[in-house]
Amino acid sequence: GGSEGVRSVTLTVQSVQFEMQLRPGVLSFLREMSSLFCVYLYTMGSREYVQQALHHLDPEHDIFRPGQVLAWHPALDRTTKTLRRMLCHPHLVTIVDDSTIAWAQHLPNLLPIDRFTGDPADRSLARMAGRLRHMHAQFFAPQLAVSRHPLAPPASPAGGATRCGPAVPELRMPPPGTVPPGPPKGPPEPHGGAVPPGHGMPPPDPPAAQASQASSSRPSPVRSSPLTRRSVSAT
């Protein structure tokens, strides 16, 4: 947890220097949470700023994968954050942020955390990690109970899915001596077996949406500026 002390790094964005202080325990917090959740970074900073910050928050690029970093865009409001930018159902998202105003539209999803002021004895991330571990255990408890059935597939080491990519369906073989059922009987399908558009079949999802839906078996906490503290000085 929270054994990491405050570390300061300097970022330069458009000839302006930012001194960014990493919150105590932030690196171990991100590593552990990424093994339990699909972790997103949502910030009102510019993309250039975020890219430099990620060199220190995720130097190996194994926590935030493509599509999991949401930076500010000039066409967006800079005071409000919204889950509409994420391709997943809101009830599967847990937000960790020090601003309740920014998430006024999604307060039921918010776990408020204290604002980081540079205190080297700050333990907020360690406390938040405990809450998120408990939520993860409660969320997957029913699934783990079902997985104890003799015919159920084995559970993953972390007690749930640990990757944000598409899930791979498991192939189940019928018990020995069982005759596999034949194709269902019914009227012949039109157009040589293809179902025409608009006949009860939804259009295929884009690849990004498929990945999001496949990973929606677990909540996805959204990370924000509570991980760091910054000051500005012109160069």
Q: Would you place residue 150 in the very low, low, confident or very high pLDDT band (cuts 50, 70, 90)?
A: low
Strands 7-13 and 16-22: antiparallel
Sequence-distant (≥ 6) Cβ neighbours of residue 123 within 8 angstroms:
2, 24, 25
Query: Which pLDDT score is estimated for 179?
Result: 53
Count of CB atoms within 10 A of residue 154's CB?
Answer: 7
Q: What is the mean pLDDT of residues 114-139?
A: 95
Nearest to 118 by CA among 205, 34, 6, 194: 6
The predicted structure's pLDDT at residue 135? 94
Which residue did the predictor score with more confidence, 208 or 98?
98
pLDDT band at 233 (very low <50, low <70, confident <90, very high): very low
Most confident of the following: 6-20, 119-133, 156-170: 119-133
| CA gap 68, 63 in Å, rounded | 9
Query: How far does Cα 176 stand from its chain's mean position?
Result: 41
Which residues, 6 or more positions from 37, have their beta carbon under 8 angstroms from its beta carbon? 94, 132, 136, 218, 219, 220, 221
The pLDDT, as a whole number, for residue 43 is: 92
Identify the pLDDT of residue 53.
94
Nearest to 82 by CA among 64, 98, 95: 95
The answer to whether the CB of 44 falls within 8 A of the CB of 69 is no
Sign of CA dihedral 126, 134, 87, 78: negative
Say if residues 40 and 220 touch (Cβ distance below 8 Å).
yes
Report the alpha-carbon distance of residue 209 to residue 203 in Å, rounded.
12
For residues 6 and 112, the model is more confident at 112
Q: Could you report the per-residue pLDDT of 17-69, keeping only the tens digit for each?
A: 989 999 999 999 999 999 999 999 999 988 999 999 999 999 999 999 888 99
Q: What is the mean pLDDT of the chain?
A: 74
Q: Are strands 110-112 and 228-234 parallel, antiparallel or unpaired?
A: unpaired
Query: 218-227: per-residue pLDDT in tens?
Result: 444 444 467 7
Residue 220: what pLDDT?
A: 46
What's residue 167's pLDDT? 38
Question: Where residue 230 falls among pLDDT bands split at 50, 70, 90?
Answer: low
| 153-210 per-position pLDDT tens digit | 455 444 444 556 543 333 344 455 555 455 445 444 444 333 333 333 344 444 433 3
Distance CA 33, CA 47 (A): 23
